[in-house]
Structure 1
Amino acid sequence: MKNSIQTSNTLQNESQTEQEIKNMVRQKYEKVALQDKALNASSCCGTTNSSTEVYNIMSEKYDNLNGYNSDADLGLGCGLPTQFAQITKGDTVLDLGSGAGNDCFVARAETGETGKVIGIDFSPTMLKKARQNADKLGYNNVEFREGDIETMPISDNSVDVIVSNCVLNLVPNKKAVFKEMYRTLKDDGHFSISDIVLLGNLPKALQEDAEMYAGCVSGAIQKEDYLNFIKEVGFENITLQKEKAIFIPDDILQKYLSESEIREFRNGQTGVFSITVFAQKNPSSESIKKEIIQEQKSVCSPSSGCC
C-alpha cells in the first residue's frame, strides 16, 4: 500500500512519462472491466472507493435510448453523447474509448444496418467484453479495434460522426486526440463528446493521485483550455450541448483530503463539470443551417430542467 501511495504522489511529476500514465490507466481499466456496474457508478469512474452518499456520481441513465444494452453499460460515462450526436441512417460512427460497447450499440440503433460503427479501446479485457456483446446481439456492422486514440487505427477522412464518453480526460495529450479526430472525420463531419473539465485548480492531493487520474478527475483540464484545443485544431461551430456540475462525495474525498481541506474545496472557486461538446470539420453552408435548427431543438438549458 505504501508503494502504491508513493506511486500516486509522483503521478504528475516531470519524471512520469505519458506512456507510464497510459499504462497505469490501462491496468486500472482492465480491473474496472470486471467490476460490478454498481461499484463503478458509485465511485469515480470505477477506480476509487465507492460512496455510500451518492450512487451515480458521474454516470447518466441510458436505458431510455434505443439500442441500449445493459450488458454493455458498465456505468463509466459522464454524459449521453450519442443522444446529442445527430447520427443519421448510413453514417459511419467512431466511438473513442468504447469500453464494453454501450455507446456503439446506441449509435448502431441510429445509423441502422446500412451504417457502420467502430469502437476503439486500449484495454484487451474491455474489447473482449464488447465483441462478446456484439456477437450476442448479432451485429455484423459494429467493429471493435484495439488502439490508442492519440494515434487511431482509422483512415483519413473516413468517419461521419465521432462520439466519446468520459475518455479524453484520461489521455495525457488531449490536443493530439483532437488532431486525430480532425484527421479521421470527413469534411462536414462532426463530433459530440462528453468529458470532465475543471474551473479552478484541484487540491494538490487530488491532482497527484493515480486513482483520481483514472477516476476522470485529476486528468481533467480547465474548461477554457479544453475548448481552445478544439478551436486550435480547426473545428468550427463549437457548441456546448450540455453542462452538469459533478459532486464528489465527502466519503471519497476523505481518502485524499483532511476535513479542513474538504471544507476549503467545497467553499472555494473550484468546480468539476461534465460537458458535452459538439463541433464540425469544414462545414458546408447547408450543414450550418441544419446545425442551427438542431441546436434550437436539442440544447440542454437550465429552463429545460436537465442541466
Structure 2
Amino acid sequence: MNEDIREQVRQKYAQAIKSKSGCCGSTGCCGESQDATSAVTGNLYQATEVEGLPENLLATSLGCGNPTALGNLYAGETVLDLGSGAGLDVLLSAKRVGPSGKAYGLDMTDEMLAEANANKVKARLTNVEFLKGHIEDIPLPVGSVDVVISNCVINLSADKDQVFQEIYRVLKPGGRIAIADIVTTRPMPEGVRQSLLAWAGCVSGALTQDEYTTKLVQAGFEDVEIVVTRVFDLNSPRARSIVPEATAAELEQLNGSLVSAFIRAKKGGTTARKGLCHE
C-alpha cells in the first residue's frame, strides 16, 4: 500500500500545482482554499513576511501552518524543508538565515520542483537549493542541517518512523525540528484510515498526538512539544472535500479530533549558533 499512497499523493500535488489549486481539487490541502477566511490555511503568513516574494506564491501554499514563524531561525544556519512544494517556506527560511546560511527544499514532484525553482529565480535568492527525493530517504549527509521544518507533509508518509530517523540523521548535534502537521486527538475511524483520497488530503495518515510523541522519542529526539494551533470543523460545507469517502457517522466520530499542530523537538548535543535570530 505504501507505493499506492505515494503515487496518489504525487498525482494530487502535481495536479494542484498545474491548476494552481489545492491538492483536493479547487480547495487547499486540508480542504480549504488559501485565503483570509480559510479555517485551515488562511491567515498563516503576514504580509510583511512575504514581501518581495512572487505574488502568486502564497496562493500555491498547501500547508496547515507557518513553521518559519513558529520556529526561530538564526543567521548562518542551514535549514531543510521536507515536502517543500512551490518553495514558500524555503524562501522565507533563506531570508531569515541570511546570505551566510543555506535553505534546502526537498520534494518528490517534478512539477512542484519546477515551480519552486522558478520562484527562486524571481525572488533573487542565492542561498537556496531544491532537491528531488523522498522524505524517507533524505539526500543530504549526516549532521549537515541545523533545523528541519515541514508544513503539513509528514502526515502524507506511509513510513513515519523512517522519516523521523532520517531527520535525526541529517541534523547536527543540538539541531531541532519545527514542524506544522495534521494530528488527531483520538484514533480516527478505520474506514477513513483506509481511504487513499483522504490520505492524499492530509487526513488518513495523521498520527495521534501520543503516537507523534512516541515516534519522535523512539527516533532519539528530546524535549518533544506538540501545541494545537487549529481545530477543524467537519460540519462545514467543505468537510466532504477533506474526507470525501467518509460516511455521516464517520464524519461525526472524526469531528473535533482533527487538528493542526506545531511540533518542536531537538537532537541531543550542542551546536554553536552562528548569529542573531531573524524575527
Shorter-chain TM-score bucket reads 0.7 to 0.9
What is the CA distance between 1:23 and its match in structure 2?
1.2
What pairs up with 1:155-304 in 2 under 5 angstroms? 155-254=141-240, 255-259=244-248, 262-263=251-252, 265-266=254-255, 271-284=257-270
User: Structure 1 residues 89 and 110 mapped into 2: Cα distance closer, same or farther (>3 Å)?
Assistant: same
Match of 1:64 in 2: 47
CA distance in 1, matches of 2:15, 2:271: 46
Q: Report the AA paired with residue 24 of structure 1.
A: Q
Q: Secondary structure at the match of 1:71?
A: coil
Amino acid at match of 1:246: F
For residues 146 and 285 of structure 1, the distance between their equivalents in structure 2, rounded to whole angstroms, comes to 28
> Could you say which residue in structure 2 is the equivalent of 1:33?
17
Is 1:43 the counterpart of 2:32? The answer is: no
What secondary structure, in the 3-state scheme, does the structure 2 residue paired with 1:274 have? strand
Equivalent AA in structure 2 for residue 140 of structure 1? T
- The one-letter amino acid paired with 1:89 is A
Q: TM-score, normalised by structure 2?
A: 0.85
Q: Tell me the amino acid that sits aligned with residue 71 of structure 1.
A: N
Q: Cα deviation per residue 1:15-36 (whole Å; 9 max; x = unaligned)?
A: xx21221111111110011233
Contact between 2:194 and 2:204, CA under 8 Å: does it hold in 1?
yes
Question: 1 CA distance for matches of 2:179 and 2:65?
Answer: 8
Q: Residues of 2 paired with 1:20 and 1:253: CA distance?
A: 24
Once the 2 structures are TM-superposed, how far is the Cα of residue 76 of structure 1 from its aligned partner?
0.8
- Percent identity, aligned pairs only, is 32
Partners of 1:122 and 1:263 in 2: how far apart? Answer: 34
* RMSD, aligned CA: 2.8
Q: CA offset at residue 96 of structure 1?
A: 0.4
Equivalent pair of 2:195/2:204 in contact (CA under 8 Å):
yes
Output one character per residue of 1:191-228: Cα deviation in whole Å (capped at 9) or x when no partner: 10010011223234432322211110111121100111
SS for the counterpart of 1:224 is helix
For structure 2, list consecutive stretches of 5 or more residues without a partner in the other structure: none
Rg larger in structure: 1
The 2-side partners of 1:198 and 1:42 are apart by: 24
Displacement of 1:93 in angstroms is 0.6
Which structure shows the bigger proportion of residues in helix conformation?
A: 1
Q: Distance in 1 between matches of 2:171 and 2:200?
A: 27
Q: Which runs of 5+ in 1 are unaligned?
A: 1-16, 288-293, 299-307
Equivalent-residue separation in structure 1 for 2:238 and 2:49 (angstroms): 34
Q: Is the 8 A contact 2:229 2:259 kept in 1?
A: yes
Q: CA-to-partner distance for each residue in 1:236-293, whole Å, 9 max, x for gaps?
A: 1212355321223443445434555544554xxx600111111111144999xxxxxx
Which residue number in structure 2 is paired with residue 24 of structure 1? 8
Change (3 A) 1:178 1:265: closer
Q: Is residue 65–residue 181 contact of structure 2 (8 Å, CA) maintained in 1?
A: yes
Give the partner amino acid of 1:75.
Answer: S
Tell me whether 124-133 or 198-207 shows the greater mean CA deviation. Answer: 198-207
CA distance in 2, matches of 1:188, 1:265: 37
Contact conserved, 2:13 with 2:23, CA < 8 A, in 1? no
TM-score in terms of structure 1 length: 0.78
Q: How does 1:6-155 map to 2 (within 5 A)?
A: 17-37=1-21, 43=27, 45=29, 55-60=37-42, 61-67=44-50, 69=53, 70-73=55-58, 74-155=60-141
Q: Is the 8 A contact 1:169 1:221 kept in 2?
A: yes
Aligned residues: 266
